[in-house]
Structure 1
Amino acid sequence: MRLSLSTIFVVLLIVLCNRNITQGARIKKNISHYPIHISADSISTWQNNEIRVFQAGGNAEIEQGEARIIADNVIIWFKEIKTGQLVEGNIEIYCSGNVTLFQEENIQDFKETYLELVTTAGISVKPILARNQVKSFEDEQRSELYVQAEKFRAKENGEPYKDETATGTTEAGELVDILADDIDTWLENDVRVIVAVGNVRIKKGEETLNADNVILYFDQEKSEQDKPAKQVYKEVYAEGNVTLRRKDDLIVAEKIFENIKEEKGLFVNSTISSVLKPPTVRIQKPVFMSGEEIKNTKGNYEINNGDFSLCGFGHPHYRFKYSKLRIIKTGEKSVLTAKNNVFKIGKVPILYFPYLNFNLKRSPKRLQEWNTGKTTRFGRFFTTDWDLYGFGFGEKLSEWSDLTLSADFLELRGPAAGLDFQYKKPNYYGYANTYYINDDEELDINDVPVDSKNRGHFLWRHRQKLLNNWVADIEISHVGDRSYFREYFQPEFKIQKDRTTLLYLKNISGNRGTTFLAEHQLRTYDTLVDSVRLSRKNESFPELKYRIIGEPFRDGRLNFTSETELVYQNRVFDRITPLKAETNFLGRGEWLTAERVFDRSPARLDPEETVRFDTFNMLNAPFGFMGQRFNPFIGFRLTGYSESVKVNPVTLSNEGSGSPRGRVAIPIGFNTSTTLSRTYSVYNKLLNINRLRHIMVPELMFNFMPIVTQDPEDLNQFDGIDALDTYQSVKFGLRNRLQTKRGEPGKRKR
C-alpha cells in the first residue's frame, strides 16, 4: 500500500483499552481492532506541541469497522503516549455540518459532535482525489473552524476554554510537502524525525528533492508565551538517486546531507549542473561540475579533484580536469574559479591552464564574434559583431534584451552595417534586424542587374500574449531588391521562410481554434525565388478560420473534424523581362560572348482578386480488430468563389473575371496500420547500446475523391484547395525504428 504524508500521514499500532464515545450515542461493539480511515476533499495538518492536528473539509468521512461518520468538516487531534515499550495514542474527532453516524442498523444525525476513537490496527488520512495533497504547516493554523472545535472539545471534557489567539494569530510556517511510498515519524528529545522510504519527493519553496530514502529533522522551538511550539526544518539526509533542484542549479548525487539552519551541506559522488547565461534571449547552456565530494556553504560550492564541462552529453566529449573548483554567488554574479586545469578531449590531455575564472551568469563581451576570409564575389572581407550593452549603454535594457551591431567591410562591395535587437518579457518577445550596404557592383549572381547602390533589409517579428488565450504575431519586412538575399545571405535564402508583412491572431483552446490573418506585401517579388523568373505574391486580407480537430461523440465511436474559412485572396505577378539576347560575329572565326539585357522596370500583370468561402467537414470511425488499427473516413467540402476564370471561346485565353461559382467535393478513404516489435540481446559499449528493440509499423492508405463539381481550370488558383480534382490513390508505407536504453544500471532510459 502506498503511504505518504500527502496521502497517509502516519500508521501507528496502539494497544489500548476500548473506549468509543459520541455525544448522544455510543458505539455498541468493540471495534478497536479495526483501522480508522479518514478522507475528505481537502486536508491540512500541523503539529501543536505533542499533538498532531488534522483539518479536513468537504465530504469528510471517518470509518472504523461497521461504524461510519460523514460530515462537512472535521478536526482531528492525535496524541502519542508511551507506556513501557508500547506506543499508545488517543484520537479525538470534532465533526460539524450535516453529521451522520451509521452503526449497524442505527442512523443518528447531529449538527456537530465530538468523539474519541481508539484503534490497535492503525489509522490512515488521505484526500478523496489522488491529485490533491495534504498541506503540511510548521505552525498552528487557527481557523474559525479550529477555534470552534477547541471550544466544543473543552466543553465536552469539562475543561475551561483558553483562547490561543488573545495576543494575535500565529504566522504560518514554511510549507514542506513530503511524498513517499512509506513514511514514519516520532519525537526524539524535542526533535521531530520523519523517515520517508521509496520514491521520495520533498518540496520546500523553490527547492525540490527526489531520492530513494530521506530522513528529515524538525526542531520543536519554544515560541512566545501562550503560543504553541514552532517546528523548524533543521536537517535532511537523502540517499539513492538523489536529485536536488535549487534555482539555477541541479545537483545529482549518491548521498546528500544538509544543515538547513546553517545553510551547509555535503554531496557525495555528485554532479552540479548550473546555467551558463549568455545574453538574455539567447540559448542558455548548462555547465556540469562533478567530484567525489561537494561542499555547500550558503549556496557556494567547493569541489576537490573533479572536472567540469560545457558539453551536455552523459559522457562529455571535452572537459577540464581540476584540483580545486569554487563557485561563489554574490548578487547578480556567479563566479567559477578553478586551479590546475587540464583540458581533455575524450581522455586525451590537450592543454594546461593554471587558473580559470569566469561568471556563470551573464558577462558582457564587447566583441562577440569576428570572421575574415576571401571570396570571388566579395574579395577580401572582415566581419564583426559587437555587443553594444558591453560598452555600458542601456544597462536597464540589458536585463531583458540584447543589442548587437554588425560592422563589416567587403573589398569588392564596400562597407556594410546592421543592428540586431532581441527582447523577451513575460507577455511578449521578438526581434528586429536591419542591414545596409552601399554596393559598388552592377551585377549580382546570375548576372542580375543591381537596381540601386543602396541595398539592405528590415525585419521585425513580434509575439504578444493577449487576454482570454489570444496570441498575436506581427511581422513587418522590407527587402531592397529581388536578388539581395541570394547575394548576401545565402543560408537565409535557402533555409528560412520568405519575408512577409502580416498580423496573425490565434486563440486555441483544447481541440478548437480560431485564427485571423491580415497579410499585405510591401513588395511584389518573392525573395526566395530565382530573381529572373516570373514571381507572384499572395495576400490574404483578411482571412478568418475556425477549426475543430477530433471532436468525439457517440461515446467516442466517431470523431468529427472541421475547418471553415472566409478569405479575401489577392495575387500580384511580377517579373523581369529580357529585351534581347545578341551574339556578334567579329570575323576570323571569333564570336562575342552572348549578353542578356534586362528591362529594369518589371512587367506587371493584372492582379487576381477573389472572395472565397470554404468549409470542410470529416467523420472518421477508428476501431481495432485482432491487433490491427482501422480508420475509415468520409468528408464533405463546400467552396464558394466570388469570381472565377473567364475564357474567350475563340482564343481560349483568360480574359479576366468570370461569374461566381460554387463547388462540392467528397473525399472517401481509410487507413490501417499495426505495430510489430522484437527485442534483440545486442550490447556495445562503444555505441552505448544496451539491447535493441526493432519496431516495424506497416501502413496502408486508400484515398478516393469521386465527386468534384468544378474543373480546377475554371477557378483562380491560390492554394491546394483550389486545385482539388477527382482522383484515387493507394499508398503503402513501412516505418522502421530501432530503440535502445542508455544510462547507468537502474537509471536507463530509451
Structure 2
Amino acid sequence: MTRKLPPRRLLAVAAALALIGHQASAETAQPGPATADSADTACPLGTFHCPPKPPSYAMCRPNAMLDFYDPTLSRDPSLRETSPTSVLAQHVDSSDQSVYHLSGDVKLDRADQKLQADSLDYNNVSTDYDARGNVRYQEAGQLLSASHMQGNTNASHGIAHDVRYQMLDARGNGVAEQGQMFDAQRTRYTRATYSTCDVGHHVWEFRAKSIAIDKTTGVGVARNATMRVGKVPFLYLPYISFPVNDQRKSGFLYPVFGKSSRGGFELSTPYYLNLAPNYDATLDPRIYTARGPMLGGEFRYLFPRTRGQFNVQYVPDDRGERVGLEDTKDTERYLVNFSNVTRLWGSWNLISSINRASDSGYYYDYGEDLATTGAVVRTLSSNVAVRGAGKWWSAAVGATVYQNVNPFVTDASLQYRQLPYATFSMDVPLAPWLEFGMDTEAVAFRKPGYIEGEREDLYPYLAAYFGTPAWFVRPKLAYRYTAYQLNDDYSKYGARFTEQSPTRALPIVSVDSGLVFDRSTSLFGSSYTQTLEPRLYYLYVPYRNQNNLPVFDTRLMSFDYWQLFSPNQFSGADRQMDANNLTAALTSRLLDENGVERMSVSLGQIHYFSPQRVVGNDWVHSAYVAQFGLQLSDRWRLNSSYQWSPNTRKTEMGSFELQRRVGDDGILNVSYHYRRNLLEQYGVSGVYPLSDRWRLVGAVAWSVPDGHSVEAAAGVQYDSCCVALRLVERNYVKQSGYGLPAGSGNQRDNAIMFEIVFKGLGSSGHQIDSLLQRDILGYQ
C-alpha cells in the first residue's frame, strides 16, 4: 500500500476554497463565525525553537455579515437529505396548492441551511424556489447574500446574482457577479473576488473571470485570475488548476526574490509536479544577475518500505567571479543532496545521506542568503549505513566520507574518512540492581598524505544501582581495550610510531554516590521545597603511555560541569585519560508547590590524588565549577555558569544569560560568554512591541578581542488584519580568519530582505523567520 506525501498548496487554493463554500481548515479556526482571535500562548522562556505562530486575525473587525448569522443552526451538512424543510413568513398566498407565494421576513430552514428573503416562491412538490430582495443564505461553511437566488433544494442546484459571501470556519470574503451550482459537487462562479481582509477594506484580493470547481476530483480551474494589492494588479494567471481539498495538484508555487553579494539579484519560479499520491517533484528554474541561470529540482517519494528525497542544483555556465585555492576554469557547477531510509528486514534499515558539490567554492557563491550562519559551510558529509536495534542492543555498519567546501583551505583540514565502520552496543539487565553493557567500535580511517589504519575499541562494563529517593550509590566497573592495525608505511609519519599493531588496555572504575535532603521554606510570600544534594564521584583509571597511538578522531573536550562526572575528557577512542580523582559537588534546588524547579545552584571541583599524565597537568585540584539558574516567574529567567582555577588563579570560563518577557509579544535577551584565550563575546537580542501593529526586532553579537560585531541584525515588523510586512538588514562576518591569507582579516557582508505575508495565502519565503528564530531566543 502506498502512502500520501504532505500536500503542496498553490497560490489560488485559498480563493477556491472560499468561493465554493468549502470548510477550509485553519489553525486558528474555531466553531462558529471567524472573529477576532485571542492572543496565542507565548513560547516558554528558554525554549530554543519556538513553533511559528499561526496567522492572527485579532486586529480584524467582526464579520460584517453577522447581522443575520444564526448560531443555533446545525453545522452538519449530512443531515440535509433526512431533514424536513420549514418555511415561515408574515404573508402566505397558497391559492395554488403546490406553489406558495411568501412575503415579509421569509425564512426557509433545512438542517444546516437557512434562506431569508423579502419574498419567496416555493413549490412544495418540485422543491423549486425563487427568492428575491435582500436574500441571505447561511450554511455550515459560509454566509451569503444576493439580490436574487433561485434553485431546487432536493437537486442542490441554483443560481445567485450579485453575491456577497463571508466564510465562517476560516477567514475569507468576497463578491461574485453570479454563482451557479450544477449539483452538490460542481460549482462555477463568474467575476468573483476573494480576500481575508475586512469587508470593504481589501488591502489585497483575487479577481477571477471564472472559477469552476469539481469536488469529486478535488480540482478547481480558474481562468483570467489576477491578484491585486490595493488597486494595483500584482500577479496575473491566465489559467491555473488547483486542489480544492487536501489533494495535491500540479502548478506554480510562490516566486522568490532575493539578493546576495556573490549571486546578485535572484528570481526563482518553482513549479510543482503532482506525479502520484506517493511521489512528486518540484522544478525550480532560477536566474542570478551576477552568475547566470540555474535549474534546481526536488523529488520526493514514499513507499511502504522506503522513503527519501533527492535535491539537485545545476549551473550550466557560471559567469561569476571564483574565489579560493582551486585553480579551475570549469564553469559547470552543481550541488546534490540525497537522503533515503529503506527497511530491510525486522528492525534493520538502510540509511543513506549523500551530499556533494562540484567544487569547494559552491556554498560560498550560491549557499548564502539572509538566513545562513555567519561563516560559510566548511564540510559536507556523506554516509551510508545499515542500522538495527532491539530491546537491549543496537548495531550499525557503514561508511562516512567528507568533502571540503571552504574555498580558502586545502583538503588537509578534512576529518578522516571512515571506510568502513561498525558499532555494537548492548545494555542487558542481570538483576533489578545490576546490568551488563558493552560499547564496541571498529573503524578503518583513511586520509591521503596522513597515517592510516584500522582501530578496534571494546568497552564492556558492569553497573549496579543501590538507593532510595533519599540516597544512591552507583558503582561501575569497565574495561577498555583498543587495538590498531596501521598501514605498512606507518613509520614515515613520525618516530613515535614504533609499532604497526599497537594496543591499549586498562580498567575503569567509578563510584557515584549522593544524598538528597529536603525541607519546606518560603520566599517572597510563596511556599517552596528546598533540597540539599551532596554528591561524591570517585574515578580510577591507571596510566597507559599512548604516545605511540595515532589520533584519528579524538579531541580534548571543553571542561564544564558535566565533566566533573565523566570517565574521559577526550572524545573518540584514541586517548583515554588516566585518573585517580574524587569529585565533590553540592546542589540545592527550590521546587514550587507543583514540583517545578524555580531555582538551582551547583558547585563542584575535582581533587586529583595523582597527576593527569595523559591530559598533561600535575594539578591537585581542577577549576571550581559553578552553575546557577533562576526562574521565579514566567516573565524572566536567568542562567549562569562560572569556572575559576586555583592553579592559574584566573577565570577559565564564564557565561551569563538573562531572558525577560516584554508585554505579551516581546522578548529581551542579554548574554555574555567567556572562555580564556578563546572567546569573549556579548550578545543582545529581542523583540520589542511598539504597538499592537508594530514590532522592532534586533540582535547583535560583539567580539571583545576583535573589537567589532560578529553579526548584527535589525528590522521592523508590521502586522494588520490580513497583511504582515517584515524588513530586516543583516551585517555579518562572512568568512573568519580561518584559512584566509595572513593580514586579510575577516570578510564581512551585508544583506537586506523584505517580505510580505498575505494572511491566508502564505508568504514569499521564510528566510526572515529562520534568521530571527536562530538569533533571538524565544522569537515567534
Between the two structures, name the one with larger relative contact order (CA 8 Å, sep ≥ 6).
2
More strand by percentage: 1
Q: State the TM-score, normalizing by the size of structure 2.
A: 0.42
Larger radius of gyration: 1
